[in-house]
Amino acid sequence: MLFLLTNRTRAGLGAAQFGELAALAKAFYAAIPPGVEIRGEFAALDQTHNYTLLEAPDLETVQRIQAPFAPYTETTIVAVQEISGWTAS
When pLDDT is averaged across residues 48-56 and rounded to a whole number, the result is: 94
**Cβ neighbourhood burial of 5 (10 Å; 0-12, 13-18, 19+):** buried
- Residue 5 in this model has a pLDDT that exceeds 80: yes
Bridging pattern class, strands 83-84 and 87-88: antiparallel
Task: Report pTM.
Answer: 0.86
Q: How confident is the model at residue 47 (pLDDT cuts 50, 70, 90)?
A: confident
When pLDDT is averaged across residues 39-52 and rounded to a whole number, the result is: 92
Q: Where do the domains of the chain lie, and which CATH numbers do they carry?
A: 2-88 (3.30.70.1060)
Q: What is the pLDDT of residue 84?
A: 81
